[in-house]
Amino acid sequence: MTDDRRGVLLGVILIGLGLLFLVERFVGVDLAEAGWPLFVIIPGVLLFAWGVTQSGREGLGLAVAGGITTVVGLILAVQNATGLWATWAYAWALVGPGGSGLGMAGYGLVRRDSALVRNGLRSIAAGVGLFLAFGLFFEGVIGLSGQPFLTTELGPYILIAVGLAVVGLGLARSRRPAG
């Protein structure tokens, strides 16, 4: 990236931050209380965007770092809105495999690298699968955020739905051609 482009990018970032703080004053939203995860999300998105504009390993690394940072910010936003901070016990799965997969898949899409997109999507799927499995255990069995939901009226239905999804995925994999 040339020095001219860096200056323009920095200027756009400063204008965006100024507009954000101006909106905060007019709307009366306290960003320190409600919107502070944006201070993680926005740099993550910018890092990702910077990464996909670069070529080679540096670009991929920046895109992956941006994906991870953005996912952390999104998780913090959900936790801030709900007060369910204990979900970090299993939300990490969305950060590690999920966020890095997001960066890989996004970089692969921009660079038209289908192998990188596939690997990124596999990583995202692994992260979501781990999140759901650990979430089922921590919230359904242990009741980390309250009463274990498997002991409620919905418990058997949730187990049946998860079982059907696992069987469906297994059947879909067995029908896929080898290679």
pLDDT tens sequence for the chain (179 residues)? 566 666 776 777 778 778 777 776 777 666 666 678 888 888 999 899 888 888 888 899 999 999 999 999 999 988 988 888 999 999 999 998 999 999 999 999 999 999 999 999 999 999 999 998 898 888 888 888 878 877 878 888 888 888 888 888 788 877 766 65
Strands (E), 3-108: none
Number of domains in the chain: 2
Q: Does the residue 13 lie in any domain?
A: no
Q: Does the residue 48 lie in any domain?
A: yes
Q: How many CB atoms lie within 10 A of CB 140?
A: 19
> Looking at the structure, do residues 55 and 95 belong to the same domain, yes or no?
yes
pLDDT given for residue 118 in this prediction: 95
pLDDT given for residue 140 in this prediction: 83
Q: Helix 3-27 vs helix 38-53: angle between axes, to the nearest 10 degrees?
A: 160
Which range marks the domain in which residue 177 is found?
147-179
Q: Does the residue 106 lie in any domain?
A: yes
> Looking at the structure, do residues 136 and 168 belong to the same domain, yes or no?
no
pLDDT given for residue 93 in this prediction: 93
> Looking at the structure, do residues 172 and 138 belong to the same domain, yes or no?
no
pTM of the model: 0.73
> Looking at the structure, do residues 159 and 119 belong to the same domain, yes or no?
no
Q: Is 75 exposed, middle or buried (0-12, 13-18, 19+ CB in 10 A)?
A: buried
> Looking at the structure, do residues 44 and 127 belong to the same domain, yes or no?
yes
pLDDT given for residue 144 in this prediction: 82
> Looking at the structure, do residues 50 and 119 belong to the same domain, yes or no?
yes
Residue type at 50 in one-letter notation? W
> Looking at the structure, do residues 129 and 153 belong to the same domain, yes or no?
no
Tokens of 79: 């936790």
Among residues 167, 138, 141, 166, the alpha carbon closest in space to that of 155 is found at 141
**Residues near 137 by beta carbon (within 8 Å), at least 6 away in sequence:** 90
pLDDT given for residue 127 in this prediction: 94
Tokens of 25: 């004053």
